[in-house]
Structure 1
Amino acid sequence: MRTQAVATTELDRQVRTEGETRHDSLDGEHMTHQNNPEEDARAEELAWVRTQPKVPIVTPSPYPMIRFAEPGHPFDRPVRVEADIEGLECVQGEIPAHLNGTYYKVVSDRQFPSFVENDLGYFNDDGMALSFRFHDGKVDYKSRFIRTPRFEAEKAAGRSLFGKYRNQFDDDAMVEGMLRGNANTNLFFHGGKLYAAKEDSPPIILDPITLETLGVYDFEGSLTSKSSTAHPKIDPITGEMVFFGYAAKGDTTRDIAYYEADSTGQIIHETWFKAPYSAMVHDFAVTQNYVVFPIIPLRSEREWIEKGESSFQWDASEDVYLGVMPRKGDGAKIRWFRGRSRFASHTLGAYDDGRYIYIDSPVSESKYFPWFPNRDGSPHDAVKGRTTLTRWTIDLHDGSDGFTESSISDLGVEFPRMDDRFETLQHTWGAMAVSSVPGIEMQGHGFRWVSTVDYATGAQKLYYPGEGSTVGEPVFVPGAPGAPEGHGYVLVLVSRRDAMHSDLVVLDAQNVDKEPVCTLRMPLRVPKGLHGNWVSDEELGQRTD
């Protein structure tokens, strides 16, 4: 096409040039050319060319063609839209007029197709921040891509530059040494700042009103770890933020850095230690007196990623270790408790009574994630990977280096959440996304229900959004500042996969099995996402931007 276009354009140039020359010649030397058969034939050819449609010159684009791989369902295609919607449509119920605050959530979208085959989807996609602002009986929606250094580099290049998940050796050479974080795991608010986090990098700070990206944040130079968790815990009594970074000296390293920041966000404590082996430490447990680091055998080794293998692999031959350390303790004195191989990713809540530490998490016999391979080459086992809410109990006084395990629920669950006002304290209520219920057969995959559990009575209640719909992480909102634990609302994004749009559903936290308080219709799809949090207007008034 390019050759043809250039040739046609060159011929057209000759038409103009020779036509002008012939015109001049006819004025002065009419008799000279009048009887020249060769010149007449050329004139006829040029006249014919003038009647043909012009073919534009096609210059190759400096950017590659944008074409995304087709997902298993059209709902999961990239959205790539930043939106502002003033007043979401309420299609059922009424928005509580006294509910004033913002629900922040991060989802995974992608501005350019990955150049990696079988990429890990929303683990490795760009982060997009969402805000649902509740005020005066209405809800406004906003979404913005989080402009990480990675995002901006790819935007400038017009293509993907970063390769496989957590594999720096697969990146384009032009981004060597650049932060790989995509800020796609959690949005949380502390010390007047809105953080967007991914566990392989320092957090990003956003404007809580506009969602504008303000930049990478290293706690004013106090964050010495190369990474920072997306699951910090905020002490409701002191306002302190407790957090850590694993692979703190770089991917596949065993180093873990532990931090505590005061209520203003200033780091006031730091200590380091080494894990028994390098592993994904996605979440941890915090009580009033202790922190617990779960080391599960979703392992990582440098030689694997150098060979282009999966960055994390399930090694069932390894045990689980729970590292226990006092709050503001010394990493050199961490105490390890050991148990058989099993999987856990998220923590619902934890507390201690001085002797015992209680940790509630979805736990399974094998890995939950099908996309991370088994090190021994065996296929993924979805039955063994089904996570159910489980309590781990550590006895600090009996001299044992083990821990016990007991079942709380038989539902297949993930994304556990509590009433955050009881973080680090004894809790009696929780909410989860549910993928399977014993005795109920469902077609397809994904989370089909939201469940709540009452620890005092053992009662479990289920919200079912309907056929063709899936749910995301449930987030609790207190009904009032002094409301009892678990009394308020549960917010959940519902993907209406067959209808190709999303809804924000508000549930009564004590009666999720009843009709929703209200349903807010979104005129678009919201991509898959991980975590988010509710921030009251009172808290937002303390922002430091």
Structure 2
Amino acid sequence: MASILHVNCFMGRPPFSHKFDHHFRDSLHFSLSFKPLFRKLQQNSIWANVPNIIKEASVRLLDTFVDLTFEFVDQPLLPCQGNFAPVEERGEAIHVTSIEGRIPDDFQEGVYIRNGPNPLFGGLKSTKSVFGKSSHTWIEGEGMLHALYFCKECDGSWITAYNNRYVHTDTFKLEKERNKPAFLPAIEGNPRAVLSAFLLNWLRFGLVDKYLSNTNVFEHSGKFYSISENHIPQEIDIRTLETLENWDIDKGWRRPFTSHPKLIMVNLRIYRLIKHEKEGRARIGIMPRYGDADSVQWFEVESSCTFHIINCYEKDDEVVVLACRARDSIIPGPDFGLNKFEWFSKGFKDIGPVEETDEKPQGSFFSSAYEWKLNMDSGDVKERNLTGTEYSMDFPMMNEKFVGF
């Protein structure tokens, strides 16, 4: 059944009174005469910056709330974490005059450079507030570059120098300008404290956490970069350790990088290890370099946790994967409220037999160099420990000339 739509409208002069019409004309004349003045006011910096003024006032109000509500306190290091205590920034290279051992004659000149966490303001900070406590994990802290320079003289003697310097990320510069901690720790703690830290960091800075740049240094196309998992890389000058700029590939990249890129020159596959799941077996995925999700070939291996790959290469029908492997993951750490010293100490004790009733067996964080041989034709897996159980090892270094071989 068709329906009829009735539209009531008016065309013509509105039924305003003469008095209102006269007032309307005067108002219109006033409005037109006011426009030049309004344009001048718009050009005035005070009026033009009203949105920024309101935003800055809101941020200052939130900062005041944080200062009144949250107390930053030193986060103590466990006895086994002394090497993670911050060191003083030097900024300029110093000569190394005392060397144990001897530098080989055929050692290559150059620079050995690494980065790591070096928290500002004397160390990691926890916070206490009406919402509870929140804290950082032991791997956090602003990135600091450490460099050793090796130069050989004409007479064959060596000159060595050392330098260190902070990576100047955007958030590093923000806190240095304020000269005090600004970001609330939002990794572990009471749920309400962690949630409020996330929210307040986001409202004040547009970020939930700091850019750390403390995980790896890599070279690409003749340039060098410092990187962590949560941000884009920062280009650095390896001679002075000065931070040059963020590397966003000409504005074409707006998300985090991997902090462990590996360049493989000779084969057509890339390699990745998948997150450890205690309930099931671990898996390793092999994907052709230009493949997609459907092209991944999966191999089940014994349950374990691996963060850092040493090398991967192809041999006959097998792909050989070398990495540092532990039974369990040390990150993010113990559940909130547990004794951290006991938790870490138990995890690093000598490896013994795993009891089925033991949820966290001794030595579960003990990491060894490990090998997996993955047969691409049959799907078979062979795996073995390469370094035994006497020494734990991780964060491996591989000569890039041999990566993929």
- Interval containing the TM-score (normalised by the shorter chain): 0.5 to 0.7
- CA distance in structure 1 between the aligned counterparts of 2:72 and 2:208, rounded to whole angstroms: 24
Per-residue CA deviation, residues 265-287 of structure 1 (Å, 9 max, x unaligned), is xxxxxxxxxxxxxxxxxxxxxxx
In structure 2, the CA distance between the partners of 1:168 and 1:324, relative to structure 1 (3 Å rule), is: farther
1:406 match = 384
Equivalent position to 2:259, from 218, 230, 243:
230
Aligned to 2:93: 85
Determine which structure has the larger strand proportion and give its number. Answer: 1
1: CA distance, partners of 2:377 / 2:102: 52
Distance 1:356 1:147, change over 3 A: same
8 Å Cα contact 2:137/2:332 also seen in 1: no
Match of 2:140 in 1: 124
Question: C-alpha offsets along residues 231-288 of structure 1, whole Å, 9 cap, x if unaligned?
Answer: 1112356xxxxxxxxxxxxxxxxxxxxxxxxxxxxxxxxxxxxxxxxxxxxxxxxxx2
Partner of 1:336: 298
How far off is 1:118 after superposition?
4.7
Alpha-carbon contact 2:72-2:126 (below 8 Å) kept: no
CA distance in 2, matches of 1:101, 1:410: 33
Looking at structure 2, the residues matched to 170 and 203 of structure 1 have their Cα atoms a distance apart, in angstroms, of 25
**Partner residue, 2:323:** 361
Give secondary structure in 2 for the equivalent of 1:184: coil
In structure 2, relative to structure 1, the CA distance for the partners of 1:372 and 1:196 (3 Å cut) is farther
The 1:67/1:170 distance shift into structure 2, 3 A limit, reads closer
Select which of 145, 167, 170 maps to 2:197.
170
2:185 is paired with a residue whose SS is coil
Match of 1:499 in 2: none
Q: 1:194, 1:421 → 2: CA distance?
A: 17
Deviations along 1:42-76, one digit per CA (max 9) or x if unpaired, are xxxxxxxxxxxxxxxxxxxx999986333235665
Query: Contact 2:114–2:145 (CA<8 Å) still a contact in 1?
Result: yes
Deviation at 1:146, TM superposition (A): 0.6
The one of 129, 147, 159 aligned to 2:181: 159
**Hey, what does 2:24 align to over in structure 1?**
none
Query: 1:229 is paired with a residue of what secondary structure?
Result: coil
The answer to whether residue 375 in structure 2 is matched with residue 395 in structure 1 is: yes
Contact 1:346 1:361 (C-alpha < 8 Å) held by counterparts: yes
**1:388 CA displacement:** 2.3
Q: Relative to 1, partners in 2 of residues 1:325 and 1:234: Cα closer, same or farther, differing over 3 Å?
A: same
Could you say which structure has the greater relative contact order, defined with CA pairs below 8 angstroms and 6 or more residues apart? 1
| Aligned-partner Cα distance in 2 for 1:162–1:332 | 41
Q: Which residue of 2 aligns with 1:212?
A: 242
> Residue 401 of structure 2 corresponds to which residue in structure 1?
421
1:309-388 aligned at under 5 Å gives the runs: 315-369=277-331, 371-373=333-335, 380-388=360-368
Structure with greater helix share of residues: 2
Instruction: Provide the TM-score with structure 1 as the length reference.
Output: 0.48
Quick one: which amino acid aligns to residue 419 of structure 1? N
Query: Is 1:291 aligned with 2:270?
Result: yes
Cα separation, partners in 2 of 1:83 and 1:214, compared to 1, 3 Å: closer
Q: Which secondary structure state, in structure 1, belongs to the residue aligned with residue 253 of structure 2?
A: coil
Per-residue CA distance 1:369-389 (angstroms, 9 max, x = gap) = 582559xx9864342332222
What's the CA shift for 1:329? 2.5
- The 2-side partners of 1:219 and 1:331 are apart by 25
User: Cα deviation per residue 1:324-358 (whole Å; 9 max; x = unaligned)?
Assistant: 11123234422333344321111121111352111
Separation in 1 of the partners of 2:208 and 2:221? 27
Partner of 1:105: 114
Change (3 A) 1:373 1:342: farther
Q: Is the CA contact 2:232–2:246 (under 8 Å) kept in the aligned structure 1? A: yes
Map of 1:34 onto structure 2: none
Code of the aligned partner of 2:89: V
Over residues 422-461 of structure 1, what are the superposed CA-to-partner deviations in whole Å (9 max), with x where a residue is unaligned? Answer: 1011xxxxxxxxxxxxxxxxxxxxxxxxxxxxxxxxxxxx
Partner residue, 1:135: 151
Aligned to 1:147: 168
RMSD after superposition: 3.2
User: Could you state the TM-score of these two structures normalised by the residue count of structure 2?
Assistant: 0.63
Farther-moved stretch of structure 1 (208-217 vs 325-334) = 325-334
- Of 163-172 and 93-102, the range deviating more from structure 2: 163-172
Q: Name the residue aligned to 2:56.
A: none
Percent identical residues:
20
What is the distance in 1 between the residues matched to 2:402 and 2:303?
30
The 1:391–1:155 alpha-carbon spacing in structure 2 relative to 1, beyond 3 Å, is same
Structure 1 unpaired stretches of 5+: 1-61, 238-287, 298-314, 426-545
2: CA distance, partners of 1:350 / 1:414:
16
Deviation at 1:82, TM superposition (A): 3.0
Partner of 2:28: none
Q: Supply the AA of the counterpart residue of 1:295.
A: I
Q: How does 1:159-308 map to 2 (within 5 A)?
A: 159-165=181-187, 170-171=197-198, 172=201, 173-177=203-207, 180-223=210-253, 226-235=255-264, 288-297=267-276
